[in-house]
Amino acid sequence: MTLVREGAITEDDFVRLADDAAIPLSGKVLVGWDRWSAELSAPASEAARFGVQLPNTLDVIHQWPQLQHLAMIALSFPAFADGRAYSQARLLRDRLGFKGELRAVGNAVVRDQMQSLQRCGFNSFELRADQDAAECIAALHDFSQAYQPAADHLPGVLGARRRTAAAR
C-alpha cells in the first residue's frame, strides 16, 4: 500500500492494529470503529495519537463526541458505486470542523476520484498496489477551478467570470 498525504508519497506513521492486538504504550495507532467505540474511547489528550477507521454507514454527526479529538479518521470506500464516505467527509470537515487527517481507504480509491476526494476534505489516500502514485498525485491538480465551493477552497468559475466582467 502506498500512502499519499498532502499531495506527496509518505510513510504511514500509524500502526494498523487488529481488533485483538495489544495497544502499544506510545506511537500512533489505527483501530477499527467497533474496537474504538467498545473499549478505547479516550480522553482528548490520549485520543490525539489514535486514528479510527469508520464504516461508511456510521452517522458521524451522532458519533462526533467520540471522534472530535482523533488525530486521523479513515473513511471506507468498499465499492466504486458506494460514495457514502464522500458525505461523511463533507460533514466532518464542513459542518463539524474536523482538523485532523482525513484518509480515504478501500478498493474504490482510484486516480479518477482523487480530486473529488480532496474537494470533499480528504488530505490522505491509501492507494492499491496496482496504482501509479505519481499519476494519482497529478490527478489532485486536474482542474484549476470548480463550479461549486467545497472543502478544498478551489477558486470558483462564477467568481472568475464576475471578476472578468467587472474588469471590462
Question: 40-94 pLDDT, tens per residue?
Answer: 766 666 778 899 999 999 999 999 999 999 999 999 999 888 999 999 999 999 9
- Residue 125: domain span: 2-143
**Residue 152 C-alpha from the chain's centroid:** 12
pLDDT reading at 152 higher than 80? no
The number of folded domains in the chain is: 1
The answer to which of 12-16, 18-22, 27-31, 82-86 has the lowest mean pLDDT is 18-22
User: Is 15 a member of any domain?
Assistant: yes
pTM score of the predicted model: 0.86
pLDDT reading at 14 higher than 90? yes
Q: What is the DSSP string of the chain?
A: -EEEETTEEE---EEE--TTSPPPSSSEEEEEHHHIIIII---HHHHTTEEEEEPTTS-TTTTHHHHTT-SEEEEE--STT--HHHHHHHIIIIIS---SEEEEESTT--GGGHHHHHHTT--EEEEPTTS-HHHHHHHTTS-S-BSS--TT-PPBHHHHHHHHHHH-
**pLDDT for position 167:** 83
**pLDDT for position 94:** 93
User: Is 165 a member of any domain?
Assistant: no
∠90-66-123 over CA atoms, to 5°?
A: 35
User: Is 163 a member of any domain?
Assistant: no
Domain containing residue 8: CATH number: 3.20.20.70
Query: Sign of the CA dihedral 153, 74, 117, 82?
Result: negative
User: Is 164 a member of any domain?
Assistant: no
